[in-house]
Structure 1
Amino acid sequence: MRNSTIDLLKALASQIIVVHHLLLYTPMSPALQAKWPGLLGFIADEGRYVVQIFLVIAGFLAAQSLLGLLDKAREVAVWALFKKRFLRLAKPFWVAIAVAVMLGWLGGKIAMHSEVSDLPGFTQLLAHVFLLHDIVEVEALSAGVWYVAIDLQLYAVLVLMAWTSQRTGGLKLLEPQQGLLLLAVAMSVASLLVWNRNAEHDEWAWYFFGAYGLGVAAHWAQREGKVVWVSFLIVGLLGIALWIEWRERLLLTGVTALLLMNSARIESLVSVITQGPIRWLGDISYSVFLIHYGIAMFASSVVIALGLETFGAMLLAFLLTWVVSVAAGWVLYWGVERG
């Protein structure tokens, strides 16, 4: 059964990320921000925080899958699950990186700008193929690609937790499902209170596991009918984390987790909103997230080459780039991700 809350959140978050990057990296941005400094300035500065939505959703869906395996007493095959997740994430990612490199090279032939870079070397490409670009500290070939590597790391950690819970039988005190929840919550607490406060860890899963783990807790609460007390737990934990160190992104993390916990209750209402285009945007959100940077870099070169300067021309170029990015994401989804 589809979850309309997830569809809506993915659609909104992916489009905000596209606008955020267009405002950060394209020559159309200054003219538009001068016209609407409040709204567009806020998205340019704070839009990156919506990635927290994807992290919570990823934890929610991963828990749904792994708890289902534990319910049926099926073996948690670590390598098989990791490989499946890797290929699901990496196939559209590889295509998007190839497109970004090609469009960057073509754009550089039309007009140079600050985001145009040289063709990548073999080591840089190889690091991206295996989603190791941040760990080995090579320059990213597209904006936001760190998320793909982190998603894979987070899933691998959760799979290992499920395997451990199954093998130990919850230390003979808990069911494997409860053991998985306990491990995930413990790591979430450590992440929110300690690791997430140091940005030097942001290439590793433990920095982001607070958001991911809250997604895990949200799914467990929904399926076990423990929404009320888990809601208090999440609010209390985030309150402590924010008291220790204020981080605006954690507010969005908490709101997302609370919405997902109650998604079954609000399904009839949210499903009315998510019919048609919103559901479609939710389906293609990952592909749009991957492909839009290359489109934006090429569009920037075209805008510079054409010498566009007026507000009307910049607005049209911005909107056209946005539309083409969504269309390219749709093609990537149907051609690669969905297959």
Structure 2
Amino acid sequence: MPRTRLTHLRSDIQGLRALAIGLVVLYHLWPNRLTGGYVGVDVFFVISGFLITSHLVGLIEQQRSPQLLVGFYARRIRRLAPAAIVVTASVLITTLLVLPATSWAPTAWHVLASTFFVENWHLAAQSVSYLESASQPSPLQHFWSLSVEEQFYIVWPVLLLLAAVIGKTKPHRAIALTIGIVALLSVAWGVTHTALDPDVAFFDTSARAWQFAVGGLLAFLPVPHRSLRAVLPWIGVMAVGCSALLFTDATPFPGIAAVVPTLGAAMVIGGRSDEDSTWSWGFLSRFGPVRWLGDVSYSAYLWHWPLIVLLPQVIGRDLDLRLKLGILVGTLVLAGLTYTLVENPFRKSRRLSFPRRRSYIAGALAAAVLASAALGSVGVATAASDAADAALIAKVTKGDSCYAAAAVSGRECRDAFGTVDRAELPAPLADKPLAWQDDCIDDVTQNTQKLCELGDPDGTTTVLLWGDSHAGAWSSAFDIAGKIEHWRVIVAARNKCPSSLVAPEATSFGEALPADQQRWCADRNRWVSETVVPRADRVVLADLWANYVFPGDAGKQDLGYEQVIDAVQDAGRDVSLMQHVPLTGRTLEAKVWGPNCLAEEPAPACSNPVATAYPPSTSAVFRGLVKDGYGNRVRYVPVHQEFCDDDRCFSGIGGVSVYFDGSHLSHTYSTSLGPWLARALDRADTLGDSDFTAPAG
């Protein structure tokens, strides 16, 4: 048997739990301050590996038959399921009661994935970057780590039992050897997978298994010498703390960097700090609030993220310091209540413990209820969305409409920029265009083949819309234009990746784009140029042109676009460039969120002077193209007249919000631009200086 046996709840481990949950919560509230706080999850993985392995080895010593699995899984259900079910059900109910119908189906799918322990693979399939995502995260996205743990809990007991049975003469050595092999194979795969595709690797259970295995190996180590017990835990705490302070969202993870917090957590656990030695980690962890936070860490983890995600959508504004502190307090209160009223009663319930099948029956019934509610929500949301889209299309294609963009050109429409119906304002980030709704807009990862196909599927002309997230925001408009003009529309949109064959190295407000993102952006655009362009009859480039800084000469920002134009025209296709939508704030970085502003201020106040909305930087690329002789080779589609009068550009037009955030068109307004876009693309003329020197002219 291992020398380490758990005979009581160790204070040093409870203190480590408190540290881990503190890092995770603070990171999610202040990601720019504690840039690597996500390593708290890795600490939890090591703790789980140690505790579960220690427990299983003790069970295997007493009984080497499949029967021990029955009791083990029943205890896991009682320990983990009740609190998770309460939080999951609360999120689903809140979404259905408070949030718009567009949020129902996405949340319901996350409920299903979380209920059946596959949230990590659900996120991986969407190529979601947990650390940096351009779209609104799910309130259940944090269940990815719980799914990884549950998958570990399912496989680990079977693996260890098999090892003990096969190595029956020396079962402990067989188990330790098996764990060591798992650790070596998993860490090798984790490093490799992170290098190949970090966004998917982040959620990959097999790339994380070594962290559990490291914890498992600790169960076989002897108690260290007293001098080491005084030093090792503090070294481990410092390793975890330094990781939290120094790692960022650009750190490849869980690659080789994950070794630091993982071994740090292992040193705290393996160091077995003396609880009675003053100034030791174990003594500090005996402090009441620290121990309590360790006790409620599971419930705190469950509650904090839904509060962070849902509160801004419910109240209609971003989180400020006061709200973040409120979330911190709310998390602790809800965690304490859940621990006292849910976790402990179910974990200790004799009624569920004997016979054991009651635990399984209760868990299955709860999962069935949640799954049924989630599937029902998907059905209702789909029907509501279809009806809303049909009504919206009817409104925007109506000849005498004064709704949304139609109010700008409608002769009978009065004060197109002066009124907004606040009752119909969607929650921020809820009214996203089709590229987001259809989950076909890419983050900057190695996944290079995500496209939307919109418009008329039987259209005789194929139009390729190519660009960054602003191309994605035009997707709803192109869908309507395609239906009107019988175009088959392909959308190739990727966040922070403009339609240039030279990848940007930074944003114009100083955010450096990592080298791997630059490489993936360049690879993606080459793939579009070589594979997708030949399938199109017309190519339309739409980017936030002023947003990027390209390598080399700062005054020569159009080189990559010229290469695209050359490539497209070599393929015999026409190229059109779309002016980007107005900036909403003083600068690109200082955005004004349209839905938030319109909910609090009179609609005319949510506007920007034309000179600020279209500074000279927004047309620098166009000036370079004209200077280099490309002006007559491309068509240019000005869009400012659909957003601005002679003096200002507006966030509320024709009764609706122009944007769903601080710069991207809302689905409603983008859709309403469809009829105009169908005409504008056909009328587009070649690019000349006069097109962009006076945006409101």
- CA displacement at 1:290 relative to structure 2: 0.5
- CA displacement at 1:86 relative to structure 2: 3.9
Q: Is the 8 A contact 2:96 2:104 kept in 1?
A: yes
Structure-2 separation of matches of 1:166 and 1:196: 29
Q: Is the 8 A contact 1:89 1:148 kept in 2?
A: no
Q: Residues 179 and 265 of structure 1: is their aligned pair in 2 closer, same or farther, counting only changes over 3 Å?
A: farther
Q: 2:167 aligns with which of 166, 169, 178?
A: 169
In the alignment, does 2:53 pair up with 1:63?
yes
* Cross-structure match for 1:293: 305
* Cross-structure match for 2:10: 3
- CA displacement at 1:55 relative to structure 2: 0.4
- CA displacement at 1:253 relative to structure 2: 0.5
- CA displacement at 1:212 relative to structure 2: 0.7
Cα RMSD between the aligned structures? 3.2
Unaligned runs of 5+ in 1: 25-40, 236-244, 309-313
Q: Is the 8 A contact 1:11 1:282 kept in 2?
A: yes
* Cross-structure match for 2:334: 328
Q: Is the 8 A contact 1:106 1:298 kept in 2?
A: no
Q: Residues 128 and 295 of structure 1: is their aligned pair in 2 closer, same or farther, counting only changes over 3 Å?
A: same
Q: Which has the higher strand share?
A: 2
Q: Is the 8 A contact 1:104 1:297 kept in 2?
A: no
Q: Residues 4 and 48 of structure 1: is their aligned pair in 2 closer, same or farther, counting only changes over 3 Å?
A: same
Q: Residues 165 and 247 of structure 1: is their aligned pair in 2 closer, same or farther, counting only changes over 3 Å?
A: closer
- CA displacement at 1:296 relative to structure 2: 2.1
Q: Which has the higher helix share?
A: 1
* Cross-structure match for 2:24: 17
Structure-2 separation of matches of 1:108 and 1:9: 37
Q: Is the 8 A contact 1:188 1:209 kept in 2?
A: yes
Structure-2 separation of matches of 1:193 and 1:133: 24
In the alignment, does 2:90 pair up with 1:99?
yes
Structure-2 separation of matches of 1:209 and 1:20: 23
Structure with bigger gyration radius: 2
Q: 1:281 aligns with which of 293, 307, 310?
A: 293
- C-alpha deviations, 1:166-213, integer Å up to 9, x for none? 32234x4xx212211110111001111223431445544321111111
- C-alpha deviations, 1:211-237, integer Å up to 9, x for none? 111101112114699x99xx9xxx9xx
* Cross-structure match for 1:151: 149
Q: Is the 8 A contact 2:120 2:148 kept in 1?
A: no
Unaligned runs of 5+ in 2: 1-7, 127-136, 237-253, 346-697
Q: Residues 223 and 86 of structure 1: is their aligned pair in 2 closer, same or farther, counting only changes over 3 Å?
A: farther
Q: Residues 186 and 296 of structure 1: is their aligned pair in 2 closer, same or farther, counting only changes over 3 Å?
A: same
Structure-1 separation of matches of 2:276 and 2:219: 15
Q: Residues 121 and 194 of structure 1: is their aligned pair in 2 closer, same or farther, counting only changes over 3 Å?
A: closer
In the alignment, does 2:279 pair up with 1:249?
no
Identity %: 22
Q: Is the 8 A contact 1:287 1:329 kept in 2?
A: yes
- CA displacement at 1:267 relative to structure 2: 6.2
Alignment of 1:14-163 (within 5 A): 14-23=21-30, 41-43=32-34, 45-73=35-63, 75=65, 77-105=68-96, 108=99, 117-119=103-105, 124-135=110-121, 137=125, 141-163=139-161
Q: Residues 161 and 108 of structure 1: is their aligned pair in 2 closer, same or farther, counting only changes over 3 Å?
A: same
Q: How many residues in Structure 1 have an aligned counterpart in Structure 2?
A: 293
Higher normalized contact order (CA 8 Å, seq sep 6+, divided by chain length): 1
Q: Is the 8 A contact 2:120 2:145 kept in 1?
A: no
The letter of the residue matching 1:21 is: H
* Cross-structure match for 2:210: 210
Structure-2 separation of matches of 1:122 and 1:316: 30
Q: Is the 8 A contact 1:100 1:141 kept in 2?
A: yes
The letter of the residue matching 2:171 is: P
- CA displacement at 1:118 relative to structure 2: 2.6
Q: Secondary structure at the match of 1:117?
A: helix
Q: Residues 289 and 122 of structure 1: is their aligned pair in 2 closer, same or farther, counting only changes over 3 Å?
A: closer
Structure-2 separation of matches of 1:118 and 1:102: 10
Q: Is the 8 A contact 2:20 2:43 kept in 1?
A: yes
Q: Residues 246 and 212 of structure 1: is their aligned pair in 2 closer, same or farther, counting only changes over 3 Å?
A: closer
